[in-house]
Structure 1
């Protein structure tokens, strides 16, 4: 990635003040500098913003947008059930995480990615799309995520501590859970959970029924609005094909 071109665009768009943390992170990424180890379970190998509180799980009560999502759970679920009958169908999301014996067990209906909404899907899901648009989501993936019965997602991590992965549980059988760092939690329908996916994590569905959640990303709450806009530009540079963000 041409990190200097990325910084030049950040400065041309946003100025040069109060962006030191993002500038350092972009430069470190471009130069291949290893991340600072804060927690051995955390591996932000693509973009590490230093100084952010590092913890595997975050409290949904700290985010003002959560009640709107939780109140709309039944409407979001209804839109998913309608969407899954559409011609486009899901993608195999497992293939990006090593595949293995459970390849095909993690399927996704994409709503957003690389900073852009998927027009066909969001047109079919107006309630869900409005919720996402009214929330400061990151440029990353937003999707309906399905684990088929018996699916085990291998240990993996996202590439940046700048974002939190958020789940709105929709269809939740027993015997499914997610471990982030060393802490394991389950899902409960209609109760948002959020975690820092730069921590090593894995998930499983050991039931005989499918598990479905709405997944999206928001920025770490300790980032300023200016910093998130700068990180948007970084993600846009990577989406152009310079390199990939996990």
Structure 2
């Protein structure tokens, strides 16, 4: 724990109460047990009601977001395909700590703490969700993007950074023989529907078809994370990335 983080936590305790960031302190002091399938994840907030796979019906506060995504799925599918077919310069190789893959690309709506305003004109339905229903849920140190997996491509098993943000997928265009595995349990996307999982657990994906697999991915706050904890965790993650860059 850096002096800057310690000072930030003291400030938050004065604002929100002496126990408001206790779980964050426990996380930073490694005072909790981590599942072996989260071994590569760096920041595990204790006490969250989480399992590798989460039900979209489990968290009532998310229902409006999920309903809007699913009811807009046809429009979202149409606009991302228009971007792909026009070879939009917003389509980029997906950059991950695993490295860069030629067969895995992305179109970002939100990245590095900023909205990609250039996407608004070509992805109006998706961008509208970013600005409205997703506004209070998107983790500001994470992303919202279309994940486009080429025919025959796979994403090797890995854990992402934390468990206090969880991964919400809208299945946009799903050919046959596509799957996602989280903590050794494999499931398939259902086109036009959302699925939710804790990506601090070991997970992987594959496209065994001859077509592109497209999902809209959103890194959202776990609903059990308080506003005080959100503020603390954003600061912690930014400090974490600073240390990684040095």
Classify 1:123/1:222 alpha carbon distance in 2 versus 1 (closer, same or farther; 3 Å): same
Tell me the TM-score normalized by structure 1: 0.85
The Cα of 1:11 is off from its aligned counterpart by 4.3
The Cα of 1:242 is off from its aligned counterpart by 3.3
Counterpart residue number, 1:55: 51
Superposed CA offset, 1:169-214 (max 9, x none): 1110000000000211001111100100000011000111110010
CA RMSD of aligned residues (A): 2.3
Distance 1:119 1:238 in 2: 27
Q: Indicate the SS of the match to 1:154.
A: strand
Superposed CA offset, 1:74-99 (max 9, x none): 12122212333254242222664245
Counterpart check, 1:5 vs 2:4 = yes
Superposed CA offset, 1:123-143 (max 9, x none): 432321221232211120110
Distance 2:80 2:179 in 1: 21
Moved more, 157-166 or 223-232: 223-232
Counterpart residue number, 1:70: 70
Tell me the TM-score normalized by structure 2: 0.85
Q: Indicate the SS of the match to 1:104.
A: strand
Counterpart residue number, 1:122: 120
Counterpart residue number, 1:242: 243
**Count of matched residue pairs:** 233
Distance 1:218 1:195 in 2: 11
**Structure 2: gaps (5+ residues):** none
Distance 2:53 2:125 in 1: 27
Classify 1:242/1:130 alpha carbon distance in 2 versus 1 (closer, same or farther; 3 Å): farther
Distance 2:34 2:238 in 1: 27
**Structure 1: gaps (5+ residues):** none
The Cα of 1:147 is off from its aligned counterpart by 0.5
The Cα of 1:16 is off from its aligned counterpart by 5.6
Residue of 109, 112, 119 corresponding to 1:111: 109
* Structure 1 runs, 4 residues or longer, greater than 4 Å off: none
Moved more, 184-193 or 78-87: 78-87
